[in-house]
Amino acid sequence: LPSRPAASKYLRGDRSYFLAASGYRPTEPVETLGTPSPQKTVVLHPGSRVLRLGLASDTLPHSVPQVIVRYMTHVASKAKENKEGKEESEEEESSPYAAAIPAAQNVLAMRQAISHRRPNPQALSLVRSYNNSASPEMIPELNDPYRIDWSHLSQGEGGKDQVITGNRALYVAEGPEEGWVRRWPWSGRGLNLDTYASVAEALGDLGCIWEQALEASLGIDRKSIKEYSVVLGVNERMDRAHLSRVIDLLLQDLGFSGILLAMESVAATFGAGTSSACVLDVGATTTSVACVEDGLVLPGTALLLPYGGDDGTRLMAATLQHAGVTPHLGLGLTRPWEWMVVEGLKETLGTVRETEIGMQVASATVRTPAGGGAKKWHLKVCDEVMLPMLLFFVPEMLHTCRLGRGVGKGQDRERISGGSLPDPPDKAWSWAVEEAIGRCIRAAGPERAKRLYGNILCVGGGSLTPGFGQLLEERLASSPWFSEAVVALEAASTSSTTVATPTIRVLSSSREMDPRVLSWKGGSVQARLDCTSEQWCRREEWIEARERCIIERSTFL
């Protein structure tokens, strides 16, 4: 690693402008100021669904749902109106499968033809017939080892003043009809403005979640936060305006003594123990690609795709609806227990291996706050287990049926790009992961293509899908981007030298570590490196120099 950021101007001018006006002078050794103790360093990696946090000295992080539930007076009546309107239009919107799945079915049929597998033409009718006659197995609460203790906020002591975060927020019985709203303040590359009226409102909920998570998971209360520094893992293409407000939240509102920004892709390479890689991060709401070399993201190689694992959950619900499962499980995805049922089916059944396709019986247990025990259903599925997970390779299906976020036009696309970064091309929303990887590696240059194709690091929960890495290798090998890289390498070689053909290798689970925590682990490693001592920004420096402090010291702004 370089001794300091390649683009850093730290101390290159006539004077250091940091804290000049306040007359601040260090009274401790420089290494103590620049490299906080791991036991006094908190590593935060916020995601769209889960917040991973822990001390830099910890082996693994704590995982806390990054969600909040609070009462809002104006929501109840509006939710009832929306519910009535939804019931009226339920008949015409009950079957989005026909518009969503044809593109994925074509890919599946092609793969089955290549592997000489013949699908059963009567599979769908057999599955529907079995599911229509299915009946549940009742599990009493006393015999249910996974029973859920639901929170009934309307009957609680705090009444409407209660604010619930973390795991408890997932099991709140009340919904929007009763005025209780469940929101996720973080999404993709920054604050979630889809469900918030302003940045300040989103920051308020985010600060509440983080403060309670620090106290519940690490035992750090509000008074002792000032004794700790923080490492914040952020996306390479995070909105700079949002980043500045989040730093304000951490340093001024919560009171951390200093901050170190860690890019998710760079942190993933540190966690995997590799110096260079093309990092594919499959998150809940977005998928990002970036090429990293020696601790730096190569210019022009960071790309953000507006689809993720949550879209797979929605598509799974649509395909199960087509198979006749919805009447039994109630997969409307409007209540948390409905989402958890589909998410569980996606994790246990989801695959992209055509060898695992076929009629099979799946078990799904439905637990609701109404009580009366759980209902365990045994239902048949067929290609429903594979079609939703193909969205990463056939993203057009999302926009055909409008199940995705539809990023690519108007204000939604402008919000994703953030305004402070160049907009992606008009067709970026329809790029599959292999095309995004090919474009990023091409931007890195032909001299790095061989090394990057041989080190494709998959992180995030979406990469846990069985067969994901193998299918990615196959589609990369047949992509024009890889062929272009091979031709460029052959053209660069001379008659006296022979250049070996690049080998595509996808690292799905480096060092047997959960790919979902790899970026957090890399952030904890970065916090302990001496070479990052100049990248720390103390609270006093931030108050004095604001964004200029981060711009001068960071490696990516």
30-69+184-264+514-553 and 70-182+310-392, same CATH topology: no
- Joined together, the tokens standing for residue 245 give 């407000």
Please give the pLDDT value at position 269. Answer: 94
Please give the pLDDT value at position 383. Answer: 83
- Joined together, the tokens standing for residue 126 give 């057999």
Please give the pLDDT value at position 407. Answer: 38
Gap between the Cα atoms of 497 and 484, Å rounded: 20
CATH topology of domain 287-308+408-512: Nucleotidyltransferase; domain 5 (3.30.420)
Give 398's pLDDT tier (boundaries 50, 70, 90).
confident
Please give the pLDDT value at position 447. Answer: 87
Please give the pLDDT value at position 526. Answer: 92
- Joined together, the tokens standing for residue 325 give 């499962």
Burial annotation 343-382 (CB, 10 A radius, 16+ → b, else e): bebbeebbbbbbeebeeeebebbbbbbeeebbbebebbbb
Nearest to 530 by CA among 6, 32, 86, 11: 32
Helices (H) and strands (E) in the chain, counts: 21, 20
Give 98's pLDDT tier (boundaries 50, 70, 90).
low
Judged against a pLDDT cut of 50, whether residue 209 lies above it is answered with yes
Q: Which range, of 269-273, 324-328, 405-409, 524-528, averages the lowest pLDDT? A: 405-409
Judged against a pLDDT cut of 90, whether residue 419 lies above it is answered with no
119-160 pLDDT, tens per residue? 888 888 888 888 888 888 999 988 888 888 888 876 555 566
Please give the pLDDT value at position 22. Answer: 47
Give 480's pLDDT tier (boundaries 50, 70, 90).
very high
Other Cβ atoms within 10 Å of 248 Cβ, number? 15
Looking up tokens 């992180």 gives: 459
190-207 pLDDT, tens per residue? 899 888 989 999 999 999
Domain 70-182+310-392: give its CATH code: 3.90.640.10
Domain ranges, ordered by start, for the chain: 30-69+184-264+514-553, 70-182+310-392, 287-308+408-512
CA dihedral 336, 389, 300, 409 (to 10 degrees): -60
Mean pLDDT of the region 97-105 = 67
First to last CA, the chain: 18
Cβ neighbours of residue 524 closer than 8 Å, sequence gap 6 or more? 38, 41, 43, 54, 55, 56, 57, 58, 231
CATH topology of domain 30-69+184-264+514-553: Nucleotidyltransferase; domain 5 (3.30.420)
Verdict on whether the full-model pTM lies above 0.75: yes
